[in-house]
Amino acid sequence: MIISKTPYRISFFGGGTDYPNWYNKNNGEVISATIDKYIYISCRTLPNFFDHNYRIVYSKIENVKKINQINHSVVREILKRSNINHGLEIHYDGDMPARSGMGSSSTFVVGLIKAINKFSDINLSNKQLAKESIYLEQKVLKETVGSQDQIAAAYGGFNSIKFYKNNKFKIFQLLKNKKELEKLSKNFFLIFTGINRTAKFVANTYVNKLTKEKKGDLLEIMEHVKIAKKFLINKNYSDFGFLLNETWQIKKSLSSKVTNPKIENIYKKGIMAGAAGGKLLGAGGGGFLLFYVKKQNHKKFKKNMSKYINIPFKFSDEGSKIIFDQENV
């Protein structure tokens, strides 16, 4: 058996500039951080005395004889691209709900590719893992997804990710002091809206407009990245938190599907409860709202937002890794 452990991420600034149709013309940059919430994927060789050769366990259970019969498109395509020629059982477990703006789809892809390659005793570099994951989602599955989530999950850390033409990227670590990161994380609150959505359906409503009528909005979002980096360098965390509100207002203008009355109501309550700023994570439409709240307002915020699910977290510098390997011993 092999088990991979891959982190979820929080995207602060620059979302939208990580789509290839944007950065291959204009470059792009995001600020994101991985957190101590993970997807675990276990893979084990399946004995040949079963009626099926592949058993896939997620929200459903699939028992099939051939790879082409697997309904889960990610699992099917990753196995088709592997050199595994024996039966396999795959289990998925996650600390966070799917379709919630935490990069879960790409995190799953990264974790499964990591595990499947380890089965063949192949140790991919972080860059190889990120590139293979991006290629699978964008080129093989033809999903409307950006490129930041795969990189964040592969590398881990609190980073700036810069995107360049010809699908190139570079990672720049922004914060690494553990005490500073722990202090900062205590001022962030992850509030679940109760809405699950599929990111590609929301992204499809605005991605093709990014280089045309929405170009001005994306350029402003990129300016926010530059400003946010300065705030982090100078430890102006309150200003960093307040800027989240500015970038959220622009994000909402990209498409009518990014927000809805329920999200707006929760966001308004969060600001009235003492948050300096916040934003919806991911492409939009549901999932988690992230709020920055100064220490003196924590008590008020928790009391006024007590009806909503709040997920405490810490920032993590871990990228995807193998935590158990009984196959290659």
Per-residue model confidence as pLDDT tens digits over 151-189:
999 999 999 999 999 999 999 999 999 999 999 999 999
The pLDDT of residue 136 is 98
Among residues 72, 79, 63, 143, the alpha carbon closest in space to that of 115 is found at 79
Instruction: Report the pLDDT value the prediction gives residue 53, as an integer from 0 to 100.
Output: 96
Domain with residue 200: its CATH number is: 3.30.70.890
- Looking at the fold, whether 189 and 134 belong to one and the same domain comes out as no
Which stretch of 24-33, 40-49, 194-203, 298-307 has the lowest confidence by average pLDDT?
194-203
Domain match, 78 and 42 both: yes
Residue 236: strand, helix, or coil: coil
pLDDT of residue 211: 67
Domain containing 279: what range? 182-304
In a domain, residue 220? The reply is yes
Q: What average pLDDT is seen over the chain? A: 93
Query: Mean pLDDT over residues 134-149, rounded?
Result: 96
* Tens-place pLDDT, residues 260-307: 999 999 999 999 999 999 999 987 788 899 999 999 999 999 999 999
- Euclidean distance between CA atoms 321 and 157, whole angstroms: 13
Q: Are residues 35 and 161 in the same domain?
A: yes
pLDDT at 149: 97
Whether residue 209 is found in the same domain as residue 91: no
The answer to whether residue 203 scores a pLDDT higher than 90 is no
CA dihedral 241, 242, 245, 247 (to 10 degrees): -80
Q: Do 143 and 209 belong to one domain?
A: no
For residues 246 and 139, state if they share a domain: no
Kind of pairing between the strands at 54-57 and 88-94: parallel
The answer to whether position 18 is within a domain reads yes
pLDDT in tens, 34-64: 999 999 999 999 988 899 999 999 999 999 9
Residue 126 forms part of a structural domain: yes
pTM, entire model: 0.94
Report pLDDT for 213. Answer: 76
Q: How many domains does the chain have?
A: 2
pLDDT of 205 > 90? The answer is no
For residue 285, the model assigns a pLDDT of 80
Q: What is the mean pLDDT of residues 298-318?
A: 97
Q: Is 90's pLDDT higher than 70?
A: yes
Instruction: Provide the token pair at 96.
Output: 């966070």
Cα distance between residue 88 and residue 80, in whole Å? 13
Residues 43 and 101 in one domain: yes
Q: Quick one: 170 and 57 in the same domain?
A: yes
Q: DSSP letter at 309?
A: -
Strand, helix or coil at 176? coil
- Shared domain check, 191 and 163: no
Query: Are both 144 and 241 inside the same structural domain?
Result: no
Tell whether 150 and 232 lie within a shared domain. Answer: no
Is 311 part of a structural domain of the chain? no
